[in-house]
């Protein structure tokens, strides 16, 4: 873990990572806060679930749009305005509740679509702030591992705030996003970062064949995540154990955290585009045993193992995005990664529900293994396009004050 200590001592590294994680906490809070508030206002589970899905889809749609704006306008203006608008959406929902419904839907769409693209912005900053590729790889791995904390801490904050009122939970969700965004946008690297000149075309980063292949592969990895989130609920209901779903989610997150920390602690041989298929093989292989759905003790072990290769897959993919994105589109490209995984996760939730109806709990988990396998197949079929067209930028470190 020495590499992480050295990384966090670099100027602005801890601030940028910590501020981004704080600003992204709403990603792990928003859906639960929306569902709890709609239920508290008398809305049924179908309505609450539908609004939660709208929030997720709106977030996925907004990230590339805001990422493109950041490539053109810089980070502070886009991030601050979007964070304030997202908070306004959560606050409006807190005020109106589920009635009138069109206003509630509009509030949720605003909160999701305006979610500040902090994740994409951070990854665009690393190559400018850090002194070399080794530090960038450590940053990507630590980022991918640490984001698992968001989906553990975020729901706990919502539950604690909802003990006062669900309105408090919604307002807190928006406020945390603004505070985290301010930590980033007031930093010198964020203020000084500018996107490179880009070709004037509508496709942006999507004109890169390799990036399209990578995004499709990650979307199917997202399907596996969405399947898992629903399947653990079905598993808990089968056991008649309300705690089981939370324990299994935490176990997978712990596996992802451990895998990410180990992956980023050392340099790995070979190019990222050759390493990614092997990581996807391992990811798919670890998802498949979940269909067994054994007793809780063994299932906890399988859940932990299923998460181990998730963060390494993401970290390796981030390295490829840096190389595959056309000049001037790097922030939008990273935003497309967030959108692809989010859209795949939404699809996975539906897939898991169908599997549960057809074959019970094993059928619910089957989609996770299927998502991992298809992600691998897409990567293998498009492997030639993943070879970087240009080397990773070796930008000199930014001279900053202590």
Give the number of residues written for the chain. Answer: 402
Higher pLDDT, 57 or 370: 370
Asked whether residue 397 carries a pLDDT value surpassing 60, the answer given is no
Is 128 in contact with 191 (CB distance < 8 Å)?
no
**CA-to-CA dists, residue 153 to 21, 22, 27, 225, 238, angstroms:** 11, 10, 11, 18, 26
Asked whether residue 12 carries a pLDDT value surpassing 70, the answer given is yes
Start-to-end C-alpha separation, the chain: 24
For 161-170, what is the mean pLDDT?
92
Retrieve residue 6's tokens: 């050295």
Residue 328 is predicted with a pLDDT of 82
Asked whether residue 300 carries a pLDDT value surpassing 90, the answer given is yes
Q: pLDDT of 315-350, one tens digit each?
A: 999 989 988 988 888 889 999 998 999 888 878 877
Asked whether residue 60 carries a pLDDT value surpassing 90, the answer given is no
Retrieve residue 338's tokens: 């967030």
**Residue 315 CB partners (closer than 8 Å, separation 6+):** 137, 140, 141, 143, 144, 260, 263, 264
As a whole number of angstroms, the distance between CA 105 and CA 275 comes to 42
Asked whether residue 293 carries a pLDDT value surpassing 90, the answer given is yes
Asked whether residue 146 carries a pLDDT value surpassing 80, the answer given is no
As a whole number of angstroms, the distance between CA 148 and CA 250 comes to 9
- 140-144, 291-295, 314-318: least confident range: 140-144
As a whole number of angstroms, the distance between CA 350 and CA 290 comes to 18
Per-residue confidence band for 91, with pLDDT thresholds at 50, 70 and 90: very high
Retrieve residue 46's tokens: 């179908």
Asked whether residue 396 carries a pLDDT value surpassing 60, the answer given is no
**Residue 78 CB partners (closer than 8 Å, separation 6+):** 66, 69, 70, 116, 117
For 271-284, what is the mean pLDDT?
95
Asked whether residue 398 carries a pLDDT value surpassing 50, the answer given is no
Higher pLDDT, 215 or 155: 215
Residue 351 is predicted with a pLDDT of 81
Higher pLDDT, 179 or 28: 179
Per-residue confidence band for 220, with pLDDT thresholds at 50, 70 and 90: very high
Is 15 in contact with 183 (CB distance < 8 Å)?
yes
Asked whether residue 394 carries a pLDDT value surpassing 60, the answer given is no
- Alpha carbon 123 to its chain centroid, in Å, reads 12
Higher pLDDT, 237 or 382: 382
**CA-to-CA dists, residue 150 to 26, 30, 222, 375, 397, angstroms:** 8, 11, 17, 24, 29
Q: Considering only CA atoms, which of 337, 24, 341 is closest in space to residue 180?
A: 24
As a whole number of angstroms, the distance between CA 390 and CA 196 comes to 15
Residue 236 is predicted with a pLDDT of 86
Q: Please give the mean pLDDT across all residues of the chain.
A: 87
Asked whether residue 134 carries a pLDDT value surpassing 80, the answer given is no
Higher pLDDT, 234 or 112: 112
Asked whether residue 276 carries a pLDDT value surpassing 90, the answer given is yes
Asked whether residue 23 carries a pLDDT value surpassing 90, the answer given is yes
Retrieve residue 236's tokens: 């808990």
**CA-to-CA dists, residue 75 to 13, 191, 312, 332, angstroms:** 17, 7, 27, 12
Asked whether residue 392 carries a pLDDT value surpassing 90, the answer given is no
Per-residue confidence band for 400, with pLDDT thresholds at 50, 70 and 90: very low
Residue 213 is predicted with a pLDDT of 97
Q: pLDDT of 179-197, one tens digit each?
A: 999 999 999 999 998 877 7
- The DSSP line for 253-272 is HHHHHHHHHHHHTS--SS-H
Residue 383 is predicted with a pLDDT of 93
DSSP single-letter state for residue 69: H
Residue 391 is predicted with a pLDDT of 42
Residue 304 is predicted with a pLDDT of 96
DSSP single-letter state for residue 325: S
Retrieve residue 176's tokens: 């945390």
Higher pLDDT, 244 or 102: 102
Is 361 in contact with 150 (CB distance < 8 Å)?
no
């Amino acid at each position: 873990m020495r590499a992480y200590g050295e990384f966090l001592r670099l100027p602005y590294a801890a601030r940028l990572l910590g501020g981004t994680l704080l600003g992204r906490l709403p990603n792990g809070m928003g859906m639960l806060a929306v569902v709890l508030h709609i239920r508290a206002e008398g809305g049924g589970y179908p309505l609450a679930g539908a609004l939660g899905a709208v929030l997720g889809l709106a977030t996925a749609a907004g990230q590339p749009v805001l990422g493109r704006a950041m490539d053109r306008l810089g980070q502070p203006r886009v991030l601050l305005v979007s964070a304030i608008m997202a908070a306004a959406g959560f606050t409006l929902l807190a005020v109106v509740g589920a009635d009138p419904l069109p206003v509630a839907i509009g509030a949720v769409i605003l909160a999701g679509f305006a979610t500040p693209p902090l994740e994409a912005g951070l990854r665009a900053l690393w190559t400018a702030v850090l002194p070399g590729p080794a530090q960038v790889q450590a940053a990507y791995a630590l980022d991918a591992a640490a984001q698992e904390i968001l989906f553990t801490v975020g729901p706990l904050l919502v539950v604690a705030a909802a003990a006062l009122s669900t309105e408090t939970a919604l307002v807190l969700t928006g406020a945390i996003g603004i505070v985290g965004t301010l930590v980033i946008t007031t930093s010198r690297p964020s203020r000084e970062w500018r996107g490179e000149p880009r070709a004037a075309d509508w496709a942006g980063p999507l004109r890169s064949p390799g990036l399209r292949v990578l995004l499709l592969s990650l979307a199917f990895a997202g399907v596996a995540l969405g399947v898992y989130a629903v399947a653990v609920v079905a598993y808990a209901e089968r056991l008649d154990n309300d705690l089981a779903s939370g324990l299994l989610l935490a176990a997978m997150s712990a596996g992802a955290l451990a895998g990410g920390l180990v992956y980023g602690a050392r340099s790995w041989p070979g190019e990222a585009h050759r390493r990614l298929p092997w990581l996807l093989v391992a990811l798919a292989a670890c998802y498949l045993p979940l269909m067994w759905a054994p007793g809780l003790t063994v299932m906890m072990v399988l859940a932990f193992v299923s998460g181990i290769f998730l963060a390494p897959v993401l970290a390796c993919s981030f390295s490829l995005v840096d190389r595959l994105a056309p000049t001037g589109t790097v922030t939008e490209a990273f935003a497309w990664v967030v959108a692809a995984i989010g859209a795949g996760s939404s699809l996975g939730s539906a897939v898991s529900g169908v599997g549960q109806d057809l074959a019970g709990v094993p059928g619910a988990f089957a989609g996770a293994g299927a998502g991992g396998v298809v992600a691998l197949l897409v990567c293998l079929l498009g492997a030639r396009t993943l070879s970087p067209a240009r080397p990773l930028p070796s930008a000199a470190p930014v001279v900053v004050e202590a």
